Amino acid sequence: MQPFQIAQQTASGYAVQQHRVLRNTYALLALSMLPTVAGALLGIQLNFSFMAGSPFMGFLLFLGIAWGFMWGIEKTKNSGMGVVLLLGFTFFMGLMLSRILQVALGFNNGASLIAMAAGGTGAIFFVLAGVASTTKRDFSNLGKFLFAGVILILLAALANALFQIPALALAISALAVVIFSAYILYDINRIVQGGEDNYITATLSVYLDVYNVFVSLLNLLMAFTGDRD
């Protein structure tokens, strides 16, 4: 077999592998929405609130539980337990989502605000995922910039949990929409380029991107178009 044929077959096998990772990521991402919705509905029924007593301590506790789940998912990403922990994590995130959904449903146009946030998130995802999976450009150079943006968001969110400043909350939401939308582009492109070959880890990353875009969009829509009259 000629060296060119060997290289061609290797490249073909590599492309098939990355396509499989991307396909499995999309399938698991779709599946992860089921426990998220279940957790959100349960949270609404129970009037669940993690941060009612102390927003700052509640936020720290949320981060601790979330990072615990993510640590466990990373440790078990090559086994079925990784999928179980991921679905457990998405159920927990659904519970956390229920609080903002309760607030949104307190508006006269709450249902339409949630629908608009979901539609906007879906549009952002499909456009950016389409670009990321079809372009030949490598977006890995965005990684450091986006990570710095996430650190800034976390620090600002901690400060806002402590001081409860409405203008800061809006700024955080606007920045989060930009950063996590860019992360969708980055994470999907990373799979296509071969930078991520584990679909469980990839699903976790993309899920967090989509989740944060939705929450941030909903926050902005409530602030600017919410109707309480």
- The ranges assigned to domains in the chain are 3-225
The per-residue pLDDT for range 74-117, each reduced to its tens digit, is 999 999 999 999 999 999 999 999 999 999 999 999 999 999 99
Tell me the backbone φ, ψ of residue 25, rounded to 5 degrees.
-65, -45
Distance CA 116, CA 194 (A): 34
Mean pLDDT of the chain: 89
Looking at residue 59, its pLDDT comes to 82
Looking at residue 4, its pLDDT comes to 46
Please list the ranges in the chain whose pLDDT falls under 70: 1-15, 50-53, 229
Q: Can you tell me whether residue 84 is helix, strand or coil?
A: helix
Looking at residue 153, its pLDDT comes to 94
Looking at residue 17, its pLDDT comes to 78
Looking at residue 138, its pLDDT comes to 86
Q: Residue with structure tokens 């006269």?
A: 108
Looking at residue 14, its pLDDT comes to 52
| Residue-wise burial string across 167-181, b where 16 or more C-beta atoms lie within 10 A, e elsewhere | eebeebbebbbebbb
- 107 neighbors 224 (Cβ within 8 angstroms): no
Looking at residue 87, its pLDDT comes to 97
Residues 6 or more apart whose Cβ sits within 8 Å of residue 171: 156
Count the Cβ atoms, other than its own, within 10 Å of residue 185. Answer: 23
